[in-house]
Structures are given as structure tokens and as C-alpha cells.
């Protein structure tokens, strides 16, 4: 399990770096999907089977498809790749990388100071456990999230609703 | 062994489909190569392997090659959690049903990326249609399955089959079954929902630019998908491997149980083919409208009523 964990982490880090540095948007998205799948594998190694599967179903399988869908519609060509390539001039990336380097340093210090925990001794969490804690301990959170989703649904419906006045010509009622 | 078996079944389904279609349309179909034309598929495969494998110069090469691999990989991986008989399966995953949904949601990339990588207007339109169609029908597919999960109280496929010992779920979950099957047809983009590759308007849709065995992989992938949806319907709604054992001993029982499972799967595949022979293709907006205005409310209602009944019986 530990080897699988380290391989998956290496893939995740490499793929995420590629997402940032790739100039072709669709290729970058594909790397992002690989990174999400690697993270799902990490969850699986840690015993969170359900989280791993939801990561694949929701992030990799639904949200990223929408991203790919949008980029396909925009039909970005070589111009975008060139413009993206210009973004990699040192003046643009040095500032953010220094800041994130600081954060990385902090994280490394925290890891070295803290007790290292092995991934393999984590217990498997079954779907039933997740459901029980979701609908008992975190019931309020679930309700709030569902309300937020309802608001988003109503908003989406309002935005997508066509005005009676601007009916398309030739449309049969 | 399972992998080889599934690939052989999927390849021979092409022959079965052509013969059955011919039967329903009052013709003979392929009947010349070998007994009953059984070797037609082999002849077709050899022909396909020998054709020129051409990647158009304007295509995105890496993604173009990747796309047909995805559909086969995800469809074949799904079979890892299918129990063919008690204990006969590759891995017994606790959340097996979710694994299947995850694989089917990753399968969307195959058609979407094929359409984009071909860099061709028809292919792109096919890819766009495919991604919208598969994304929306995936929602109803998982929602309609939840009725079964509620009744069985488990996401494990073997447990679901065991829960059907008293009564097959096709009776209490008849609405859920119909919804699941319709969504399954849309997920495998088979006729009447084959709009991503509607040949009358889009040439061949997302695989217009594919030739030789890359096209063959899309073709086989579609039939693996049909086998998968049929096997799933048999497992979830028709009791999977359960059936009379004719008083056989313990050692022989798994073979008979596998036989029952295969029989149920093949009857459902036959139904898939009958739908192709008899149904006209809807317009694209009709397909999406039917999805969001009929399938979604019905699957939610099915879930609600099932939940209420399960709660009341407890």
C-alpha cells in the first residue's frame, strides 16, 4: 500500500506541475484529470474508499468534462498557446513562486517536526459509516449544503429562462 | 481469462446483431463465412487490422490515439467488480456499484476527446453532443440505481444479488429499471440515442476521422458497453446468477449459476438490438428535454417513494 501511495503522490505532483506549465489548454486539462485520479488513488490507499470513488465520479467524471466541453466550444488555437507561452516570462512567475516557496518551506518544517504517520495503518471507512456520520453528526452541514444547491438551481433556472418577448423567430408555440 | 471472454463476446455480438437485425427485417444477414456466418467477425477483424492506420495531419496526435483506449479501458475495468457467479469475480469491492458509476463517467472522455482531437467540424459536433448527452443521462442512471441500493441496503453487487432471493427487484423497482435501461442506452449511445454519431447529419460523428483498428476499438468498445449495461441490469433487477440449480452438487453449481447469468444478459442484449431495429431516432433537443423533464423527476420520485416504503416497512 505504501508503494502505491508514493507512486500516486509522485504522479499527482508531476501532473499538477504539468497543468500549470502546459500551454495547450486541453492537454493541461488532461493532466489535471490525471492528477485528480492520482489523488483518488491516494484516498483509496488511506482507506477512504468512498471519498476516492466520489473524487472520480464528481471531479474527474463530471466537473472536468464540463471544463473540456467549454474549451472545445471556444476552439482555442495556436494563438492561445503562444499567449500562454508569453506568461512564462520570469517577471510574471517569480513573485508567486517565491510566495508559494515560503508556504512549501513552512509545510516541510511542520512535517519534519510532527509525528510521521504511516498510510497503511489507516482503517477502511465503509459507505455506511460515512452515511451515518453525515446524517447524524453533520446533519446541519448537509442541510445547509442542500439549501445552497437549491439556491444555485433557482438562480440557474432564472438565468436560463427565455423572455416571452424575445422568442426566437419561427418558433411554434 | 475474463478479459478474453468479454472481448470475444463483444466481437461476436457484432455478428449476432447483424443476424438478428436481418431476421427482424426479413433478410438473411451475414451467413456465408463458416457455419451460420459465425466466422464473419474474424474476417472483419482481419480486414480491419490490414487497413491503413491513418492519423490525419491536422489532428492532435497524442489525444487522437488516447481517445479509443479510454473507452475500452473503462468498460473492461468495470467488469472487474461484476460477480459472474457467487465468488467468481476479480475484486469484491465494498462500493462496487459506485466503482461502476465512476468508470462509466470516465468513459465520457473517450468520445469527447475523440471529437476534439479529430479537428473536424462534424467530429466536434458529435463530441459536443456526446458529452452533453452522457453527462445528463449519467445523473438519471445513478439516481435510478439508488432505489435498488435502498432496498438491498448495500452498494456491493454480490449483496444486491443476495437481497433478491425472495423477489427480483424488477417487480418492486419496475420504474427504476425502465429509467436505468433508458439511461444505459444513452450512456452507450446506441440507437435510438446514437445522436453523437447520427450518420444522416454528422457523417460518423466523433469517429469520422478514425480508420483501421482505432475505429475498431470504438466499435468493440460500444459492444462491451452494451454487454456491461445488460449484465448490470441482469444483476440489479433480474437476480443475477439466481435460478433453478436442478439439484446439482456443490462443485457444479457455479457453472449453472454462471449459465443463468449469461442467459439473462443475452436476453437483455437481444432487447438492445430489438430497440435498434424498431425505434426511430429523436431530435437532439427532444433527447435532452426528455432527460431533464421526464427522466429526472421520475427518478427522483422513484427514489422518494422507495425510501418512504422502505422506512414504513421497517
Query: What DSSP string runs through B193-255?
Result: S-GGG-HHHHTTGGGTT--HHHHHHHHHHHHHHHHHHHHHHHHHHS-TT-S--TT--TTTHHH
Helix, strand, or coil here: A23? coil
Please give the mean pLDDT across all residues of chain B: 82
User: Do residue A57 and residue B62 have CB atoms under 8 angstroms apart?
Assistant: no
Of B236, B225, B262, nearest to B149 by C-alpha is B236
Looking up cell 470475444 gives B8
Q: Looking at residue A21, what is its pLDDT?
A: 82
Asked whether the beta carbons of A23 and A81 are under 8 A apart, the reply is yes
Mutate to test the interface with B, among A72, A124, A168 (most CBs of B within 10 A): A72
Whether A150 and chain B come into contact, CB under 8 Å, resolves to: no
User: Do residue B102 and residue A56 have CB atoms under 8 angstroms apart?
Assistant: yes
Predicted ipTM? Answer: 0.78
How buried is residue B162: exposed, middle or buried, by Cβ count under 10 Å (0-12/13-18/19+)? middle
Asked whether the beta carbons of B11 and B41 are under 8 A apart, the reply is yes
- Tell me how far apart the alpha carbons of residues A45 and A138 are, in angstroms, rounded to a whole number: 25
pLDDT over 50 at B284, yes or no:
yes
Whether A147 and chain B come into contact, CB under 8 Å, resolves to: no
- Judging contacts by C-beta atoms under 8 Å, the chain B residues touching residue A27 are 62-63
pLDDT over 70 at B154, yes or no:
yes
- Tell me how far apart the alpha carbons of residues B288 and B280 are, in angstroms, rounded to a whole number: 16
Q: Looking at residue B33, what is its pLDDT?
A: 76
Phi, psi of B285 (to 5 degrees): -65, -30
pTM for the full predicted model: 0.82
Asked whether the beta carbons of B82 and B235 are under 8 A apart, the reply is yes
Q: Looking at residue B27, what is its pLDDT?
A: 80
Using omega within 30 degrees of 0 as the cis cutoff, is the peptide bond preceding B69 cis?
A: no
Asked whether the beta carbons of A25 and A71 are under 8 A apart, the reply is yes
In chain B, the DSSP E strands lie at: none
Across the range B148-174, mean pLDDT stands at 83
Span between the terminal Cα atoms of chain A, in Å:
61
**Residue B272 binned pLDDT confidence (cut-offs 50, 70, 90):** confident
The residues, ordered by sequence, that sit 6+ positions from B253 with a Cβ below 8 Å of its Cβ are B245
Asked whether the beta carbons of A61 and A41 are under 8 A apart, the reply is no
Residue of A nearest to B110 (CA): A65
- Judging contacts by C-beta atoms under 8 Å, the chain B residues touching residue A54 are 98
Whether A65 and chain B come into contact, CB under 8 Å, resolves to: yes
Across the range B127-132, mean pLDDT stands at 82
Phi, psi of B85 (to 5 degrees): -155, 170
pLDDT over 90 at B11, yes or no:
no
- List pLDDT tens digits, range A75-125: 666 677 777 777 777 777 788 888 989 998 888 888 787 765 655 556 777
Residues of B at the A interface, defined by Cβ within 8 angstroms? 60, 62-63, 66, 93-95, 98-99, 101-102, 105-106, 108-109, 112-113, 115-116, 124, 127-128, 131-132, 135, 138, 142, 155
- Judging contacts by C-beta atoms under 8 Å, the chain A residues touching residue B62 are 27
Of A157, A147, A63, nearest to B138 by C-alpha is A63
- List pLDDT tens digits, range B49-81: 888 777 777 777 888 888 888 888 888 888 888
Asked whether the beta carbons of B221 and B72 are under 8 A apart, the reply is yes
Q: Looking at residue B140, what is its pLDDT?
A: 87
Q: Looking at residue A150, what is its pLDDT?
A: 94
- What residues pair up with B88 in beta bridges, in sequence order? B85
User: Do residue B135 and residue A65 have CB atoms under 8 angstroms apart?
Assistant: yes
Asked whether the beta carbons of B30 and B19 are under 8 A apart, the reply is yes
Q: Looking at residue A173, what is its pLDDT?
A: 46
**Domain A2-124 architecture:** Up-down Bundle (1.20)
Rg of chain B in Å (alpha carbons): 20
Whether A21 and chain B come into contact, CB under 8 Å, resolves to: no
- Judging contacts by C-beta atoms under 8 Å, the chain B residues touching residue A150 are none
* Boundaries of every domain in chain A: 2-124, 126-173
Q: Pull the grid cell for residue A46.
A: 488511506
Asked whether the beta carbons of A9 and A1 are under 8 A apart, the reply is no
* Boundaries of every domain in chain B: 54-313
- Tell me how far apart the alpha carbons of residues A145 and B210 are, in angstroms, rounded to a whole number: 44
Phi, psi of B19 (to 5 degrees): -70, -45
The residues, ordered by sequence, that sit 6+ positions from A62 with a Cβ below 8 Å of its Cβ are B105, B135, B138
- Tell me how far apart the alpha carbons of residues B220 and B236 are, in angstroms, rounded to a whole number: 24
The residues, ordered by sequence, that sit 6+ positions from B303 with a Cβ below 8 Å of its Cβ are B143, B146, B147, B150
The partner residue sitting opposite A26, judged by closest CB among B63, B124, B128, is B63
For B57, B81, B114, B128, the CA distances from A75, given in Å and listed in that order, are 18, 38, 14, 12
Q: Looking at residue A48, what is its pLDDT?
A: 80
CA B14 to mean position of chain CA atoms: 14
**Residue B161 binned pLDDT confidence (cut-offs 50, 70, 90):** confident
- Tell me how far apart the alpha carbons of residues B176 and B161 are, in angstroms, rounded to a whole number: 16
HSE, side-chain direction, 13 A CA sphere, residue A139? 4
DSSP state of A24: S
- Tell me how far apart the alpha carbons of residues B180 and B149 are, in angstroms, rounded to a whole number: 13
Residues of chain A with pLDDT under 70: 1, 75-78, 115-122, 163-173
User: Do residue B105 and residue A30 have CB atoms under 8 angstroms apart?
Assistant: no
- Judging contacts by C-beta atoms under 8 Å, the chain A residues touching residue B115 are 72
How buried is residue A16: exposed, middle or buried, by Cβ count under 10 Å (0-12/13-18/19+)? middle
Amino acid at each position: 500500500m505504501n508503494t502505491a501511495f508514493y507512486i500516486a503522490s509522485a504522479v499527482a505532483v508531476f501532473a499538477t506541475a504539468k497543468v500549470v506549465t502546459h500551454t495547450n489548454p486541453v492537454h493541461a486539462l488532461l493532466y489535471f484529470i490525471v492528477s485528480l485520479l492520482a489523488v483518488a488513488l491516494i484516498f483509496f490507499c488511506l482507506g477512504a474508499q468512498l471519498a476516492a470513488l466520489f473524487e472520480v465520479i464528481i471531479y474527474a467524471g463530471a466537473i472536468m468534462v464540463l471544463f473540456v466541453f467549454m474549451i472545445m466550444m471556444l476552439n482555442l488555437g495556436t494563438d492561445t498557446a503562444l499567449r500562454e507561452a508569453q506568461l512564462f516570462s520570469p517577471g510574471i512567475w517569480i513573485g508567486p513562486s517565491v510566495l508559494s516557496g515560503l508556504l512549501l518551506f513552512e509545510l516541510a518544517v511542520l512535517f519534519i517536526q510532527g509525528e510521521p504517520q504511516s498510510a497503511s495503518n489507516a482503517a477502511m471507512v465503509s459507505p455506511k459509516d460515512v452515511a451515518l456520520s453525515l446524517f447524524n453528526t453533520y446533519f446541519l452541514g448537509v442541510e445547509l449544503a442542500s439549501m445552497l444547491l437549491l439556491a444555485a438551481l433557482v438562480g440557474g433556472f432564472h438565468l436560463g429562462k427565455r423572455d416571452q418577448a424575445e422568442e426566437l423567430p419561427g418558433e411554434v408555440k | 481469462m475474463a478479459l478474453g471472454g468479454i472481448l470475444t463476446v463483444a466481437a461476436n455480438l457484432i455478428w449476432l446483431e447483424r443476424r438478428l437485425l436481418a431476421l427482424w427485417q426479413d433478410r438473411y444477414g451475414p451467413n456465408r463465412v463458416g457455419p451460420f456466418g459465425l466466422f464473419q467477425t474474424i474476417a472483419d477483424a482481419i480486414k480491419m487490422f490490414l487497413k491503413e492506420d491513418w492519423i490525419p495531419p491536422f489532428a492532435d496526435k497524442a489525444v487522437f490515439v488516447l481517445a479509443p483506449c479510454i473507452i475500452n479501458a473503462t468498460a473492461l475495468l468495470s467488469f472487474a467488480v461484476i460477480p459472474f457467479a457467487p465468488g467468481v469475480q476479480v475484486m469484491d469491492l465494498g462500493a462496487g456499484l459506485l466503482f461502476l458509476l465512476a468508470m462509466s463517467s470516465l468513459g465520457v472522455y473517450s468520445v469527447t476527446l475523440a471529437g476534439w482531437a479529430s479537428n473536424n467540424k462534424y467530429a466536434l459536433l458529435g463530441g459536443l453532443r456526446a458529452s452533453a448527452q452522457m453527462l445528463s443521462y449519467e445523473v438519471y442512471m445513478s439516481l435510478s440505481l439508488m432505489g435498488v441500493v435502498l432496498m438491498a441496503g448495500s452498494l456491493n453487487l454480490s449483496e444486491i444479488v443476495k437481497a433478491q432471493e425472495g423477489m427480483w427487484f424488477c417487480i418492486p423497482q419496475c420504474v427504476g429499471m425502465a429509467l436505468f435501461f433508458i439511461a444505459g442506452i444513452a450512456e452507450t449511445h446506441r440507437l435510438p440515442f446514437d445522436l453523437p454519431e447520427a450518420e444522416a447529419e454528422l457523417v460518423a460523428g466523433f469517429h469520422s476521422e478514425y480508420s483501421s483498428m482505432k475505429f475498431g476499438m470504438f466499435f468493440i468498445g460500444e459492444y462491451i458497453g452494451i454487454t456491461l449495461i445488460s449484465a448490470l441490469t441482469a444483476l440489479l433487477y433480474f437476480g443475477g446468477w439466481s435460478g433453478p440449480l436442478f439439484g446439482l452438487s456443490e462443485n457444479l453449481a457455479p457453472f449453472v449459476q454462471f449459465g443463468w447469468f449469461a442467459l439473462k444478459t443475452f436476453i437483455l442484449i437481444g432487447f438492445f438490438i430489438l430497440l435498434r431495429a424498431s425505434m426511430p431516432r429523436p431530435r437532439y433537443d427532444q433527447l435532452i428535454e426528455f432527460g431533464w423533464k421526464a427522466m429526472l423527476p421520475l427518478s427522483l420520485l422513484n427514489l422518494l417513494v422507495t425510501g418512504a416504503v422502505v422506512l414504513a416497512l421497517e
